[in-house]
Amino acid sequence: MNKPEALVVAEPVVGSPRPHESAHLHVSGAAPYTDDLPEPAGTLHAALGLSPLAHGRLLGLDVERIRRMPGVVAVLTAADIAGENNCGPLQHDDPILADGELRYAGQPVFAVIATGREQARRAAALAREVVRAEPLPAVLTALEAHAAGQYVLPPMHLTRGEPAAHLAAAPHRLQGSWSLGGQEQFYLEGQISLAVPQEGGEALLVHCSTQHPSEMQQLVAHALGWPAHRVTVQCRRMGGGFGGKESQSALFACVAAVAALKLKRAVKLRLDRDDDFLITGRRHGFDYRWDVGFDDEGRLLAADVELVSNAGHSADLSAPVMARALCHFDNAYWLPHVAMRGYCARTHTQSNTAFRGFGGPQGALAIEMILDGIARRLGLDPVEVRRRNFYAPGQDTTPYGQQVEELHAQALTERLLASSGYARRRAEIAAFNASSRVFKKGLAFTPVKFGISFNVAHLNQAGALVHVYTDGSVLVNHGGTEMGQGLNTKVAQVVAHELGLPLQAVRCSATDTSKVANTSATAASTGSDLNGKAAQDAARKVKARLAAFAAERFGCAAELVAFEGGSVSGGGQSLPFADLVAAAYLQRVQLWSDGFYATPGLHWDRNRLQGHPFYYYAWGGAVCEALVDTLTGESRIIRADLLHDVGASLNPALDIGQIEGGFIQGMGWLTMEELVWHPKTGLLTTHAPSTYKIPTANDCPPELKVELFGVANASETIHRSKAVGEPPLLLGFAALLAIKDACAACGPAHCDPPLRAPATAEAVLDAIDAVR
């Protein structure tokens, strides 16, 4: 008797933990980045001469001395830029090369073009000797600029209710101030651009490590005085970006482009790590002042808050960063009466820019510090104070007027506290601290509510192309950029799912401004949301044409045609997908299509700071346990339990990786990554790995437990998934507060250690000394 054949069920493509599409290339060192691309014959190399002053009047430059250096072909200054000398993304206030005024120590003043990279760098290093400038007073801190009223844009105000009256009537008041440091993106691949003249000098191809190819295209065109259609920008992959390659890759693309056009040869500009630190901006540091009122249970009644960011010398993206900070001050909490004022201070330092979270972490961390202080003042467990302030039915509208439709904070918190054994460990830590003189432990829980969408409505759009070839293979091009986060893998999964194909049948090509035009940056955690939907739209158009063609062949209705497991079936008949496609081509059926997606329902009044700026919210929570050496100030996170909401995950393996990486990056920012500028010269002294400490594998908690919340998105996103790029960074708040909790164990009951961030060993010792 013959056995029945086993039923073959195709493994789902969407929702399965597939490996990153380039993982095998990454681990073997074979993945080509911009610097790995073959250089055209005669390629020249550029380097930048940097300002030695934080602020000064540029008087002159000894160009001839630089030109006499070995290998030097040309020296470019602002006068050589035919078009607009600007690389600022929103306001035209950021020169490519200094023109008249020196704004910060490290500002590019000139560019050296030489036959070799080392020759260009040696010539550019003469900047200290050849730049003639008159020193001017420099403002180096945000609070100093704030006191002087120096801002890169007008202050922002967001108010709800009657905070002054409710503050005056509150049973308890808490006033305080706090400072939070910035953070270097420290992408493994530095800033780099390769500009190659095309069409006899009538067009230009720029290979650029950038999160925003379309913006690079526009800014390069402006610098050359060209229309955009003469400039093509390509990016196959980046070795990390974290926001540092959103707007700030423009300066290097523009310099390479101007030099390539002038010399009619390919020009590459790849920064040394020190120069990268000295030239580019980073996460905005913030200074806060607050006055809050609360009741005996720790419920917030009113808040008056001032946020001052260090914008640096130009506006860059400081306006939307501050807007997002103001919109995330509430985090997961209901604030009935609140007044917030945001100031973007102009200082003579690098122009700060996008960084994973884009102001959201700086806003949300302030309320976490406030609630922790309230809990300590009242002698309550900080977890209980947080739970009493969570958004709830009837108390579910943000200060900027958007209703919070998914209220996951309570359920997520209950689940995380149970899985992490919070109550038991709280008692165990209290017993440990009572018996340990030198080492102290701390425990902390923090939640996350993070709004997903660009808070500039028109940026929430994306395009894609899907090409089906006659052998049944599929090529996808979309407007997003791949920086290691797995965007191309997720988009390929979406397209494979739509066409019923195995994942290996679909490939994503390099991001290219000549393929999909006018794209938004891959930022704001919208990469999969926007580009996944656009690619799905394109795939569905091709699928509809193929279904109609198959229906004629099979003699059934088009809606009965199924695409699954690499085959197309209907009316009791079946064909391999490749055979159907080949037959459709012979009948002149269009086998490619474009796709487009615009996020619905968004609106924002940037003057009133009111509207519906976010399509949905991602939620999360973290419980961290810290160990502190009270003699040295050294600290360690010894366990972290993370529970994060990614909706119905497109790819759990990639999402868990993003959660782990985001948490570690947030932990690094708040515990060890310290930026220091020389108080007199304005030079960034932490401009290399030798002086700037980022977390490594050794800093990862020995116990790191990550779990997905597993509830499908209520909003109609791509397969009901949620963004995972930025929100997990806020999970790192729990690391800082766990260290603070350990410091509190060194003092009397109800003490509130003044722990600053980053919580370096020095900061920890200062906090311990304060409470002792």
Q: What are the catalytic residues? A: 726
Integer Cα distance of 369 and 3 in angstroms: 67
| Residue 124 per-residue DSSP state | H
Tokens 């095309």 locate to 198
329: left (phi over 0), alpha (psi -120 to 50) or beta: alpha
- The Cα-based distances of 740 to 441, 486, 753 in angstroms read 10, 35, 7
Integer Cα distance of 246 and 521 in angstroms: 6
Within 555-587, residue ranges assigned H as helices are 577-586
| Residue 418 per-residue DSSP state | H
- The Cα-based distances of 366 to 435, 671, 755, 757 in angstroms read 33, 16, 13, 11
Integer Cα distance of 197 and 200 in angstroms: 7
Q: Are 208 and 699 in contact (CB under 8 A)?
A: no
Integer Cα distance of 241 and 189 in angstroms: 8
| Beta pairing, strands 131-135 & 156-160 | unpaired
| Coil vs helix vs strand at 485 | coil
| Beta pairing, strands 192-198 & 267-270 | antiparallel
Burial of 69: CB neighbours in 10 Å, binned 0-12, 13-18, 19+: middle
Q: Are 410 and 390 in contact (CB under 8 A)?
A: yes
589: left (phi over 0), alpha (psi -120 to 50) or beta: beta
Integer Cα distance of 273 and 191 in angstroms: 9
379 CB neighbour count, 10 Å cutoff: 8
Token readout for 412 is 């997520």
- The H helix count followed by the E strand count for the chain is 20, 29
Integer Cα distance of 549 and 256 in angstroms: 49
